[in-house]
């Protein structure tokens, strides 16, 4: 019987707690301030492995992960071993659940990627537990340079329900989030059909007008994907689609907080405008996440990963573009906390409870006895979190600190 005691402050109340885990589930919780003589037999420390850190929080959930360690989810070379390697990398950074993200490509590559991910889920219990469903970002996005970002122009196309249905079948119904541009003539009907089927529709990589954004929301769109990125470099001061999306209360915003995609002032304004209850953090981790600085080939382009973690590519106009992020959500939480006036607990919530809420998962007390273990234990460093342990069921993974 595997038993552990976790000893740390709750991220939300800062109260020091001890949590007894047995066979991957919460067995009992007590305030660590309780006098020793009141300790029950279940907390006899000699019999247990004790894991300690400054803070304890629900594991991070990341709805946008493109790959890591050189493994690309949008690839015909994707193997179940590669998917598992990305899962393990996520765990070392506090992420317990995520949406593998397949981006704009030719139809066959997207099908292959979705089938490979599905096979990995069938074959591997860890992948099965960690994968929340898939995020399809593209190919139904804006073809114009600027909003299109680093997505390949030759594969961008209008929404096609038949094509999407074939992909959903290849994914065995697991496509859970779709990012698209509401500017295509058939987009609004497409959004309505996705929403009816419970797929979260996100607006992203688009240059929509006010009316198109309003129509998309009426059809069921719920999220702005990486608000403030995947945009034109220059916009009229107003109106423009950033203001329209900020002002639209029905839309949540996902935010990349890696220190490169958005200045702290913009993150602060997004969070204030949307309120923390309509924001969540994503890593948008690219296949370069977790790799050393250098020159790489990615998505048919040459991408430079700089020492400071910035990924850069050059588009056909000679314009420098970011090519996804090279870090995980632990960095995002630290930056959101350091770069804004959010409290640490609020920054953690944007990466832990908020994604659960977007996906309609229960967020009762995360230390409920009987609950399956899904935790991150971390210390707070100067400008980052130091992940000490990530615990998912019976898996206890030491963090990359």
Tokens encoding 36: 């020793």
Burial string for 117-126 (b: 16+ CB within 10 Å, else e) reads bbebbeebeb
Min dist CB 86 to Zn ion, Å, is 18
**Closer residue to Zn ion in complex, CB, 67/230:** 230
Nearer Cβ to Zn ion (6/103) = 103
Q: Which stretch binds Zn ion (CB under 5 A): 52-60, 93-101, 230-238, 249-257?
A: 230-238
Pairing label, strands 16-22, 3-10: antiparallel
| Residue count, binding to Zn ion (CB under 5 A) | 1
| Residue among 228 and 230 whose Cβ is closer to Zn ion | 230
What is the distance between the alpha carbons of residues 388 and 386, in angstroms, rounded to a whole number? 6
Site map (CB under 5 A) of Zn ion, residues 269-308, x = contact:
----------------------------------------
- Interface with Zn ion by CB under 5 A: which range of 39-47, 193-201, 211-219, 224-232? 224-232
Q: Does 139 interact with Zn ion (rule: CB under 5 A)?
A: no
Nearest distance, CB of residue 53 and Zn ion, angstroms? 33
For 190, residues 6+ apart whose C-beta sits below 8 A from its C-beta are: 140, 159, 161, 164, 180, 184
Q: Which is nearer to Zn ion, 6 or 326 (CB)?
A: 326
Asked if residues 254 and 224 have their Cβ atoms less than 8 Å apart, the reply is yes
Least distance (Å) between residue 164 CB and Zn ion? 18
Q: Contact region for Zn ion (CB under 5 A) — 106-114, 223-231, 246-254, 265-273?
A: 223-231
Nearest to 87 by CA among 75, 69, 103: 69
Closer residue to Zn ion, CB minimum distance, 246 or 323: 323
Closest CA to 295 of 304, 287, 307: 304
Q: Which CB, 159 or 230, lies closer to Zn ion?
A: 230
What are the strands of the beta sheet with 279-282, ordered from one edge? Answer: 60-65, 95-103, 134-137, 175-180, 200-203, 223-224, 252-256, 279-282
- Please say whether the beta carbons of 2 and 47 come within 8 A: no
Of residues 58, 94, 230, 276, which one binds Zn ion by CB under 5 A? 230
In the complex, the residues that contact Zn ion under the rule CB under 5 A are: 230
């Amino acid at each position: 019987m595997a038993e552990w005691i976790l000893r740390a402050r709750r991220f939300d109340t800062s109260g020091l707690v001890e949590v007894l885990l047995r066979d991957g589930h919460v067995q009992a919780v007590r305030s660590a301030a309780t006098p020793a003589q009141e300790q029950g037999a279940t907390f006899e420390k000699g019999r247990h492995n004790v894991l300690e850190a400054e803070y304890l929080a629900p594991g991070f959930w990341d709805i946008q992960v493109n790959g890591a360690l050189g493994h690309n989810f949008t690839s015909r070379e994707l193997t179940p071993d590669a998917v598992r390697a990305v899962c393990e990398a996520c765990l070392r950074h506090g992420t317990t659940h995520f949406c593998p993200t397949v981006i704009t490509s030719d139809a066959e590559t997207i099908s292959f990627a979705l089938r490979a991910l599905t096979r990995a889920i069938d074959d591997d219990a860890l992948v099965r537990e960690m994968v929340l469903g898939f995020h399809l970002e593209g190919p139904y996005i804006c073809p114009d340079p600027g909003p299109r970002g680093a997505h390949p122009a030759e594969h961008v196309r209008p929404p096609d329900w038949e094509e999407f249905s074939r992909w959903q079948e290849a994914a065995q119904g697991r496509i859970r989030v779709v990012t698209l541009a509401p500017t295509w003539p058939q987009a609004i009907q497409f959004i309505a059909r996705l929403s009816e089927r419970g797929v979260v529709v996100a607006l992203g990589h688009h240059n929509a007008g006010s009316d198109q954004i309003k129509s998309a929301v009426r059809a069921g769109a719920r999220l702005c994907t990486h608000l403030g990125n995947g945009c034109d470099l220059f916009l009229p001061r107003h109106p423009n689609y950033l203001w329209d999306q900020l002002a639209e209360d029905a839309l949540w915003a996902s935010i990349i907080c890696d220190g490169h995609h958005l200045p702290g002032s913009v993150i602060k304004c997004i969070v204030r405008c949307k309120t923390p209850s309509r924001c969540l953090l994503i890593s948008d981790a690219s296949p370069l996440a977790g790799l050393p600085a250098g020159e790489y080939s990615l998505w048919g382009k040459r991408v430079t990963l700089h020492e400071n973690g910035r990924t850069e590519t050059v588009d056909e106009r000679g314009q420098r573009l970011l090519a996804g992020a090279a870090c995980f959500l632990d960095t995002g939480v630290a930056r959101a906390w350091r770069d804004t006036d959010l409290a640490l607990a609020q920054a953690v919530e944007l990466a832990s409870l908020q994604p659960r809420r977007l996906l309609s998962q229960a967020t009762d007390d995360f230390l409920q006895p009987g609950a399956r273990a899904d935790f991150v234990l971390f210390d707070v460093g100067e400008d980052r979190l130091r992940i000490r342990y990530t615990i998912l069921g019976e898996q206890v993974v030491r963090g990359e600190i």
